[in-house]
Amino acid sequence: MRLLIVGTLKGQLTTATKIAMDNGASVVHAEGLDQAMNVLRSGKGADLLLVDVALDIRDLVMRLEAEHIHVPIVACGITSDARAAVAAIHAGAKEYIPLPPDPELIAAVLGAVANDARDLIYRDEMMGKVVKLAQQIAGSDASVMITGESGTGKEVLARYVHNRSNRSKKPFISINCAAIPEHLLESELFGHEKGAFTGAIARRIGKFEEATGGTLLLDEISEMDVRLQSKLLRAIQERVIDRVGGTKPVPVDIRIIATSNRNLSDAVKAGTFREDLLFRLNVVNLKIPALRDRPADILELAQHFAKKYAEANGVPVRPLSADARRVLTGNRWQGNVRELENTIHRSVLMSSGDEIGADAILTPDGDRLDLAKTSPAVAHATMAAETVTRALVGRTVADVERDLILETLKHCLGNRTHAANILGISIRTLRNKLNEYADGGLPITPAGAGSGDYRGMMGAA
């Protein structure tokens, strides 16, 4: 990864630099904010800024935003003063590191920012075929099109290809074509000269030049305007670009990887995507299956994320219980790997026992994932069944039957008809069982208890 250290860091600069380089980072120094901005405009770029907390971090953040430069900032200083840390975070820094630098802490921060270290986690045969093809073509300079639904891991696969190519020591630069306004995307890609348009206060090197020698990822390329597609086609064909406001072409040497979650053949037919550009980009197509179509990957990824977020949050690494695994494999995962990752992150934070149970597999709204899309009655019955079956060993069938009937009646708020329907028995059988339990001295939920609320959920009995 590329690290830009800004400021003198009160004599700790040499130590911080050595730690970063020992962890595989390439390091550039800038004495102040002006020099830092010049470095970022020049095309050298950075994946992370390590900034002296004594500098005006808010001013730096505003400068970066004004020129649409997106790079995370970590503040650092020679004091562990909580006020300095809070001020830095409020100003826009992602993290604060006290100095002298802790090698493990800096390594952790670098690792969190440097996505290059991420590897592919898979077990399913369908995904295995995609990875095998990616390995075969990684060493070439052929353009690659990676397709798949949102959240399937298209950028992760793109980095995988780059890291196994002959360009792996050079930059991997990513730009999201859908996230940048159309009138700014051309400048982001090709750069601009000073005064080329309002706000162009200095020459800015674009992503094409920044990626020279390495790989440029054009994420969600289907969202690019047709007019700009023609300029992109020329850049790929002739290996030269024109900066906005420039007077001469600039040669570039890059490999292009593009991603899309849409069918680009349909976009060509609709006239929103150039067919000749698709031919140039789609030399090799890597199509990532949806997570629901590669079930063997669900638990492999879930276990990986459970370990990752346990370590990141300083909590014990807990295995997934049998019930949790059943819930995970039974879900459709419309948001694919991204949705699974967020779900496991929540489960790690919510778990407290020896295992991650089904009760910790929650939706963003805090509902149990396996019950969120079912009717209240079915959800209650499922909960009752799980409550009973957790302690089946060593108990008689009659005990289990009794507890299941009483729990179901309780969740139906005493409504005998609904309880009998859920249990799959006749109302007469249910009444006979309840009379038997009552004769044995057990409390029975009275008929009609809370019936008003229950009818509100299910309709009148």
**Is 80 exceeded by the pLDDT of residue 17?**
no
Give the pLDDT mean for 282-306: 94
User: Cα 257 to chain center, whole Å?
Assistant: 20
Q: Choose the most confident range, by mean pLDDT, from 77-81, 277-281, 447-451.
A: 277-281
pLDDT band at 64 (very low <50, low <70, confident <90, very high): confident
Instruction: Indicate the SS3 state at residue 192.
Output: strand
Q: Stretch 139-168: mean pLDDT, rounded?
A: 94
Please provide the DSSP assignment of 400-444 as one string: HHHHHHHHHHHHTTT-HHHHHHHHTS-HHHHHHHHHHHHHTT---
Please report the pLDDT score of residue 454 as a whole number: 32
Residue 85 to residue 312: CA distance in whole angstroms: 20
DSSP string, 310-355: HHHHT----PBPHHHHHHHHHS--TTHHHHHHHHHHHHHHH--SSS
Domain ranges of the chain: 2-117, 125-289, 292-360, 376-458
pLDDT band at 229 (very low <50, low <70, confident <90, very high): very high
- Residue 119 pLDDT exceeds 70: no
Phi, psi (rounded to 5 degrees) for 320:
-85, 130
Position 452 pLDDT exceeds 50: no
| Cβ(182)–Cβ(295) below 8 Å | no
pLDDT of 451 reads: 39
Q: Which range, 114-123, 203-212, 255-264, 313-322, has the best average confidence (pLDDT)?
A: 255-264
How far is C-alpha 55 from the chain's CA centre? 32
Report the pLDDT value the prediction gives residue 184, as an integer from 0 to 100. Answer: 84
User: Which residue did the predictor score with more confidence, 373 or 369?
Assistant: 369
When the pLDDT of each residue in the chain is averaged and rounded to a whole number, the result is: 84
**What per-residue confidence (pLDDT) applies to 392?**
55
Higher pLDDT, 421 or 377: 421
Per-residue pLDDT at 45 exceeds 90: no
Indicate if the pLDDT at residue 128 is higher than 50.
yes
Q: Are 392 and 398 in contact (CB under 8 A)?
A: no
- Coil, helix or strand for 4? strand
Q: Specify the pLDDT at position 347.
A: 94
Res. 342: pLDDT tops 90: yes
Is the predicted pLDDT of residue 324 greater than 90, yes or no?
yes
pLDDT at position 375: 52
Residue 113 predicted with pLDDT over 70:
no
CB 258 within 8 A of CB 212: no
Rounded Cα gap, residues 69 and 65, in angstroms: 6
Q: Which CATH class is domain 125-289?
A: alpha beta
CATH 3.30.70.2470: does it fit domain 292-360?
Answer: no
Q: Which CATH architecture has domain 2-117?
A: 3-Layer(aba) Sandwich (3.40)
Eight-state DSSP code of residue 56: -
pLDDT of 328 > 60? The answer is yes
pLDDT of residue 376: 57
Residue 176 has pLDDT above 50, yes or no: yes
| Residue 297, C-beta contacts closer than 8 angstroms, at least 6 positions apart | 121, 122, 123, 124, 127, 291
Top pLDDT among 73 and 400 is at 73
pLDDT category at 139 given cuts 50, 70, 90 is very high
Report which of 158, 176, 270 is spatially closest to residue 214, judged by C-alpha positions. Answer: 158
* CB-based contacts of 367, cutoff 8 Å, min separation 6: none
What is the predicted pLDDT for the residue at 280? 94
- pLDDT confidence of residue 101: 64
Q: What number is the average pLDDT over the span 338-360?
A: 92
Whole-angstrom Cα distance, residue 412 to residue 406? 10
- Whole-number pLDDT of residue 395: 65
Give the position of tokens 């150039």. Answer: 274
Q: Where are the beta strands (DSSP E) in 155-298?
A: 172-176, 215-219, 240-241, 250-251, 255-260, 284-287
User: Which of 281-290, 293-302, 319-328, 442-451 is predicted with the least confidence, judged by mean pLDDT?
Assistant: 442-451
Share of the chain above pLDDT 90, in %: 41
pLDDT for 236 equals 92
Examine domains 2-117 and 292-360 and report if their fold is the same.
no
**Per-residue tokens: 182:** 């159309």
In 3D, which of 338, 369, 343 has the Cα closest to residue 148? 338
Taking only the tens place, the pLDDT of each residue in 82-100 is 777 788 888 888 888 877 7
Report pLDDT for 335: 93
Burial group, residue 353, by CB count within 10 angstroms (0-12, 13-18, 19+): exposed
Confidence of residue 378 (pLDDT cuts 50, 70, 90): low
Predicted confidence (pLDDT) at residue 355 exceeds the cutoff of 80:
yes
